Amino acid sequence: MTARIENPAGLLPDAVKAVNFLYKAAHSAGVEPVVLELVHLRASQINGCGPCVDAGARSMRKNGETDERLYAVAVWRETPYFTDAERAALALAEYATRLADQPDAVPDHIWDAAAEHFDEKQLAAIVLWIATTNFFNRINVTTRQPAPQNWG
C-alpha cells in the first residue's frame, strides 16, 4: 500500500503538539496503561487502521502482554483472558467507535459497566483516549498510511 500523502501530522507540525497534550492528559488520570492500550487496539481493529493495530500490538507485546490476550482482543467477549474492568473498557471503546450503528450510540448499560470500575477522571481519560485513537485511525485510513515495514 502506498500512502496518498505524507502523514498529516508530519505535514502540520503544530498538530503533533496538540496530540502530545492529548496523550499526556489521557495517560495521567490513573488508568492502567494496559487498559488504554486495549481500547486503542480494539478501536483500531474496528476502524481497519493498519498502522495503529501494528503499533498497538507491538507496544503491548513490548510491555509484556501475552500472545493469548493480543490474539483475542477482537473476540474478547468469547475468551477468559480479560478482567471485568478491561471488558467494560473494551465495550465502551466499541460503542464509542461505532457511534452510527444504533440510535443510542453508547447505551447506559455500557457506560454504567465502565463506571463500576473507573472513577470520573479515569472515565474521562478512557473516553479521551478512544476519541484520540479514532482521530488517528481516521487520518491513517483516509490517507492510506501503511503499517511500517521496517520493524526489526
DSSP assignment string, 49-98: -HHHHHHHHHHHHHTT--HHHHHHGGGGGG-S-S-HHHHHHHHHHHHHH-
Which triple of cell numbers denotes residue 54?
501494528
> Using CA atoms in the order 78, 84, 89, 94, what is the torsion angle rounded to 10 degrees?
20
Q: CB-hemisphere CA count at 13 Å for 90?
A: 22
Mean pLDDT by 10 residues, the chain (152 residues): 90 90 96 98 98 96 96 98 98 98 97 98 98 96 88 49
Quote the pLDDT of residue 150. 61
